[in-house]
Copies of this chain bind each other. A is one copy, B any other.
Amino acid sequence: MSSKQKRFFLSEEEIPTQWYNIQADMVNKPLPPLNPATKEPLKPEDLFPIFAEEVSRQELDQTHAWIDIPEEVRNMYKYYRSTPLVRAYGLEEALGTPAHIYFKNESVSPVGSHKLNSALAQAYYCKKEGVTNVTTETGAGQWGAALSYAAKVFGLEAAVYQVKISYNQKPYRRLIMQTYGAQVTASPSMSTKAGRKILTEDPNNQGSLGTAISEAIELAVSTPNCKYTLGSVLSHVTLHQTIIGLEAEKQMQKAGEYPDIVIGCFGGGSNFGGIAFPFMRHNILDGKTTRFVAAEPASCPKLTRGVFQYDFGDVAGYTPLLPMYTLGHNFMPANIHAGGLRYHGAGVIVSQLLKDKLMEAVDIPQLETFDAGILFAKAEGIIPAPESCHAIAAAIREANKCKETGEEKVILFNLSGHGLIDMTAYDQYLSGSLQNYVVTDEMVNENISQLEKIV
């Protein structure tokens, strides 16, 4: 309960007007995505049948470091941005650490997570290009809720394929999407070829992000005036999320500090890249030595135990081939509560950065993430999303190291969303029934060995 300033905001005039494209500044650029049919490097036009044209161009742009945020998107950002940068005095006190811990609170967005930053951009570009319908997939439902609301804002119809286990376990998120007016279908479903194939082979299949992506893409390419949108992994999504780090950079200036360590939880990479890349820019260009730590679930350890390899983004093989750290697109992650992190691969930018040791990764067991989440809730009042608990746990590990060494390091993490829709997960934790999931080397190797024939 320090009397010093706790929260740092930007005025509407100070909110960044451009996103940051780290690809332009990378010395080793990401390898090109490949057209799955020809195995040739992908051109933007190859993506036009699936995505809005503007985001297709953004996806492959390795030239322009700064991309203007359209005025219509900036106007909508102003409804919830800048999000607060918070000095976590309560957490510091609870840990007894000399570290200075800051978090960027993206949970204050109307849909409860950072996902809206890209949903608004993608829906806007679709609208501008005459699209009337958008599809997407969602796991825990954070992205689906964001896209449903963004579609409503720009007058589009939204169809969302939700991973079946989340659809059934987390009815609240489905209801939120429906409240915004979206059509929500449990995936795998009988409404697509990809879904029917899986259900025929495995009627009790509980779904995965990879499967839901296949279904949403199939609906998009088979429906007139309909485009697909994606909530993470791809470079244009991460581009839109850099608003997080760009704001944080200005806010840290107001706090009079600069981060020694920047941390984000890791599913596909957009939340991590969003907070990290604007600071990483200064490592690349200005000789800063900030460490960047991606926190992934121990049950889905693509960064820490996967291979760097071309792979598909989805289960059915509809997407371009991406050069990524992957566990293989058939890897079926355990049913952890952090549904947004249950994905087999990492985005191409992050994959290249990890390969080049410009960032680090840690994998964290489920129980440790909820230990961290409960401690954070009691100390800071905000109940974090299970995904965000991974970032908190990684921050706590670093803060505890500082306690041992006495170093006053400045730690910044992204609180990607709140956990108010995930209270059943906390229920399991509090009642002692929550468990860790072990991924054996056999599980990893089996899926990875299937990859070698792809490229």
- Chain B residues closer than 8 Å to A111, beta-carbon distance: 381
> In whole angstroms, how far apart are the Cα atoms of A71 and B2 in the complex?
10
- Chain B residues closer than 8 Å to A181, beta-carbon distance: 378
> In whole angstroms, how far apart are the Cα atoms of A72 and B149 in the complex?
38
**Cross-chain contact A374 with B179 (CB below 8 angstroms):** yes
- Chain B residues closer than 8 Å to A78, beta-carbon distance: 5-7
- Chain B residues closer than 8 Å to A427, beta-carbon distance: 171, 175
**Cross-chain contact A71 with B377 (CB below 8 angstroms):** no
Closest to A181 in B: B378
User: A75 in the interface, Cβ–Cβ < 8 Å?
Assistant: yes
Q: Which 10 A-B pairs have the closest CB atoms?
A: A110-B381, A172-B423, A175-B423, A110-B382, A420-B420, A6-B78, A175-B427, A1-B75, A149-B381, A152-B378
Q: How far is the CB of A118 from chain B (nearest CB, A)?
A: 15
**Cross-chain contact B110 with A380 (CB below 8 angstroms):** yes
User: A371 in the interface, Cβ–Cβ < 8 Å?
Assistant: no
Q: Which residues of A contact B (CB under 8 A)?
A: 1-3, 5-7, 9, 12, 71-72, 75-76, 78-80, 86, 90, 108, 110-112, 116, 149, 152-153, 171-172, 175-176, 178-181, 374, 377-378, 380-383, 420-421, 423-424, 426-427, 430
- Chain B residues closer than 8 Å to A86, beta-carbon distance: 79
**Cross-chain contact B75 with A178 (CB below 8 angstroms):** no
**Cross-chain contact B1 with A426 (CB below 8 angstroms):** no
> In whole angstroms, how far apart are the Cα atoms of A175 and B420 in the complex?
10
> In whole angstroms, how far apart are the Cα atoms of A47 and B178 in the complex?
48
**Cross-chain contact B423 with A383 (CB below 8 angstroms):** no
- Chain B residues closer than 8 Å to A79, beta-carbon distance: 6-7, 86, 380-381
Interchain Cβ contacts under 8 Å between A and B, 25 examples: A1-B153, A2-B75, A3-B75, A5-B78, A6-B75, A6-B78, A6-B79, A7-B79, A79-B86, A79-B381, A90-B153, A108-B108, A111-B381, A112-B420, A116-B381, A149-B381, A153-B381, A172-B423, A172-B424, A175-B423, A175-B424, A178-B430, A179-B374, A179-B377, A179-B383
Number of copies of this chain that the complex holds: 2
Contact of A423 among B80, B90, B171, B377 (CB under 8 A): B171
- Chain B residues closer than 8 Å to A7, beta-carbon distance: 12, 78-79
- Which one of A1, A108, A176, A426 has the greatest number of beta carbons of chain B within 10 Å? A1
**Cross-chain contact B180 with A377 (CB below 8 angstroms):** yes
> In whole angstroms, how far apart are the Cα atoms of A420 and B79 in the complex?
18
**Cross-chain contact B430 with A175 (CB below 8 angstroms):** yes
Q: How far is the CB of A417 from chain B (nearest CB, A)?
A: 11
> In whole angstroms, how far apart are the Cα atoms of A172 and B170 in the complex?
12
- Chain B residues closer than 8 Å to A80, beta-carbon distance: 381
> In whole angstroms, how far apart are the Cα atoms of A152 and B3 in the complex?
18
Q: How far is the CB of A389 from chain B (nearest CB, A)?
A: 12
- Chain B residues closer than 8 Å to A9, beta-carbon distance: 9
Also in contact, A176 and B110, with CB within 8 A (given A3-B71, A6-B79) = no
Closest to A76 in B: B1
**Cross-chain contact A179 with B430 (CB below 8 angstroms):** yes
Closest to A150 in B: B381
Closest to A73 in B: B1
Closest to A379 in B: B152
**Cross-chain contact B380 with A72 (CB below 8 angstroms):** no
> In whole angstroms, how far apart are the Cα atoms of A420 and B424 in the complex?
14
Closest to A120 in B: B381
> In whole angstroms, how far apart are the Cα atoms of A5 and B71 in the complex?
13
> In whole angstroms, how far apart are the Cα atoms of A3 and B430 in the complex?
46
Also in contact, A378 and B180, with CB within 8 A (given A86-B79, A420-B421) = yes
Q: How far is the CB of A433 from chain B (nearest CB, A)?
A: 13
Q: How far is the CB of A127 from chain B (nearest CB, A)?
A: 11
- Chain B residues closer than 8 Å to A380, beta-carbon distance: 79, 110
